[in-house]
Structure 1
Amino acid sequence: METKPLPKEAVLIVNAHSRRGQDQFEDARAKLEAAGVRLIAAHAVEDPEQMAPTVARAVADGAPMVIVGGGDGSMSGTVDELVGKDVVFGVLPLGTANSFARTLGLPLDLDGAVRAIATGRRRRVDLGMIDRDYFVNAASLGLSPMIGRTVPHKLKRYLGRVGYLIWAVKCSVGFRAFRLTIDDGRRQRRMWSTEVRILNGPYHGGVELSDHANVDSGRIVIQAVVGRSKPRLAWDWYAKFVKLRDRDKNTEEFSGTSFRIDAKPRQRISIDGEVLAMTPATVKIAAGAVEVAVPQDADKATAM
């Protein structure tokens, strides 16, 4: 089915606190306008808490496209303002892992991302939900929220994923497994776990974790690393990072439209890198919630 072309007017909103946001704001503004996107307004936002209000004002003022520059946390923190609105979401991946951009098939370099926004097409995609909070890519409980809550900003900014790895080793010393309960409304499953990933797309932390999570499947995937072994958790990340044949042997996956999850002891929940919730929580899919700008040659087989 033919879709409308992407808008040629937009508001640019960049998280200047993100890893590359401050350095690339001026470049992004110049390259977007050179590519034929007329910027109604452009904002370099120093305080991340002002990202969502700035997006909300742009939507209220009638912007046909809002381009957000930052990491996955910036995307999740602002996407709520776009749900149910006649506005296209443009993504400039300026963060550490850029998992949402990877899921969409967006180039991770600035020139490629600008080209997708200027010459690409619309794609309607799902969002995940933790209670009433929308997220673009993934949420997690276990070791990841501990890392996200405590990792020094400079370590993340200057070392990227390597910085996360260094901090993960430090955090794992005091970490303990938890008793997980997953309820889909028909059946309860209980198991020991060291980490749970709630996936709207296949990537988390820049690593492809699932062959079954898809951003327009209409389903959410819960992936649990089972057992109480911290070395097993480390091996699971390694196996998925290098794509070993038996990379899924330590995980169980559950796919559906809605789940209730709980943990003993209670666990913090990281939503695209920001610790924003705690168990127990309701996990849902919001099918076709927003339109995003993707490259013309993005994998159309997954967009059907």
Structure 2
Amino acid sequence: MLETQAQQRCFRVIANARAGAVLEAGADVFAQRIATAFEVAGCRAAVEVVSPRQLQERLRAAVADEGVTTVIAGGDGTINGALPVLIGCKRPVGVLPLGTVNVLGRDLGLVGTLEEQITAVCQGAPVAMDLGSVNGRLFHSISGMGFFSLMARQREYARRRFPFSRLVAFLFAATRSILFTHAIRIEMEIAGERRQVQADAVLVTVNQFDGAEWRRSRLDGGEFEVHILDTGGLLSRAKAAFSMLTGSWRSSHNLVSLTGTAVTIIRRDKRRGHVTFDGEVERSASPFAYRLLPGALQVIAARPAEPEPEPLPYPAEYQFPS
């Protein structure tokens, strides 16, 4: 018994009290559910459900404890806010995605029920992960302006107005973003090339996304991908939004994609504008200097399922050695 306990992996989970899953269940019930799921998976976990203001403080305490593996539980925005603390951790950290989109969680293979995600974390393996930096501001997946920043703002508004349906909230946010997006004029330098464009949106991603679900096959590809949505009015924005939902956005005639390890963007239309970082929106002045931090973080990812062995043509006892 003592030997079994000694071999158990120990985790400390810091959960955002404002996450939807926490609010629905209640902090105490949710914390007990997490602790029980870790126990069922053969691990031990101390769980703290804290307010957003306390997250970084409690994360620092968890990171400082070398006897535990730190886990941050929340949406993409919560994980984004934790990056300044997590980047200083010399050990792999875990993620429990509790948001609506969960871009990073999906890329780590953490899908399904909360219990399934916890099992995947307990059985997972560390992977190296690149981070992006914009004038020193960290992000783990996506930064954008124009249509994308308006979409993020409208989505937050829609969540409060339509808490009963994520689909209705998304359609409401997308419609308003399509109607009210204004073109932005930017000067951009990437891969040694400078260009001036007028666009409905600019999106910078850490490594390449693909497919209908916007997933990255690699988190350590060592590059940015910049997507520029051409100005074509309401119709082109509607087509772009539809193509992102259906997974055909790569073939869109209104979208130009470029890659590079550093990007500089200067907005020519205003001194300050809205920029989104993993779903969190801020007003900031250009220039925006995007720099890559290769392998800046070690994150626990779900192990890929092992392929089942092909059946032998005859029973094993009748197989002859080669």
Query: Same fold per TM (> 0.5)?
Result: yes
Q: How far does the alpha carbon of each residue in 1:111-133 deviate from its partner, in whole angstroms, 9 at most, with x for none?
A: 22111111111111111112212
Q: Is 1:198 the equivalent of 2:199?
A: no
Q: How far does the alpha carbon of each residue in 1:209-251 deviate from its partner, in whole angstroms, 9 at most, with x for none?
A: 588x842101111111112423212211211321238633221
Q: Which residue of 2 aligns with 1:283?
A: 290
Q: Which residue of 2 aligns with 1:9?
A: 10
Task: Give the Å deviation of 1:158.
Answer: 4.0
User: Quick one: distance in 2 between partners of 1:98 and 1:127?
Assistant: 16
Q: Which residue of 2 aligns with 1:53?
A: 57
Name structure 1 gaps, 5 residues minimum. 1-5, 300-304
Q: 1:63 to 1:179 in 2, by over 3 A?
A: farther
Q: Is 1:28 the equivalent of 2:29?
A: no
Task: Give the Å deviation of 1:43.
Answer: 1.1
Match of 1:110 among 99, 111, 114: 114
Q: Which residue of 1 aligns with 2:234?
A: 230
AA at the equivalent of 2:304? D
Q: Is 1:19 the equivalent of 2:20?
A: yes
SS in structure 1 at match of 2:111: coil
SS in structure 1 at match of 2:85: coil
User: Quick one: distance in 2 between partners of 1:107 and 1:85?
Assistant: 25
Q: Which residue of 2 aligns with 1:97?
A: 101
Q: How far does the alpha carbon of each residue in 1:49-104 deviate from its partner, in whole angstroms, 9 at most, with x for none?
A: 32222212211233542111111101111022121421222111110001111222
Task: Give the Å deviation of 1:291.
Answer: 0.9
Match of 1:168 among 147, 171, 174: 174
1:49-198 matched pairs, under 5 angstroms? 49-62=53-66, 64-150=68-154, 151-152=156-157, 153-155=159-161, 157-160=163-166, 162-184=168-190, 186-198=192-204
CA contact (8 A) 1:222 1:253 kept: yes
- TM-score normalized with structure 2 length: 0.81
**Identity in percent:** 23
- TM-score normalized with structure 1 length: 0.85
Q: 1:110 to 1:145 in 2, by over 3 A?
A: same
Q: 1:189 to 1:17 in 2, by over 3 A?
A: same
Q: 1:172 to 1:236 in 2, by over 3 A?
A: closer
User: Quick one: distance in 2 between partners of 1:199 and 1:109?
Assistant: 27
SS in structure 2 at match of 1:67: strand
CA contact (8 A) 1:236 1:250 kept: yes
Q: Which residue of 2 aligns with 1:294?
A: 301
Of structures 1 and 2, the larger Rg is shown by 2
CA contact (8 A) 2:207 2:221 kept: no
Q: 1:125 to 1:277 in 2, by over 3 A?
A: farther
CA contact (8 A) 1:194 1:230 kept: no
AA at the equivalent of 1:50? Q
Q: Which residue of 2 aligns with 1:3?
A: none
AA at the equivalent of 2:61? R
User: Quick one: distance in 1 between partners of 2:33 and 2:244?
Assistant: 34
CA contact (8 A) 2:147 2:201 kept: yes
Name structure 2 gaps, 5 residues minimum. 1-6, 307-322
Q: How far does the alpha carbon of each residue in 1:134-192 deviate from its partner, in whole angstroms, 9 at most, with x for none?
A: 21111111123223335325247543354133123224433211112211372211111
CA contact (8 A) 1:192 1:228 kept: no
Q: 1:7 to 1:16 in 2, by over 3 A?
A: same
SS in structure 1 at match of 2:174: helix
How many residue pairs get aligned? The number is 290
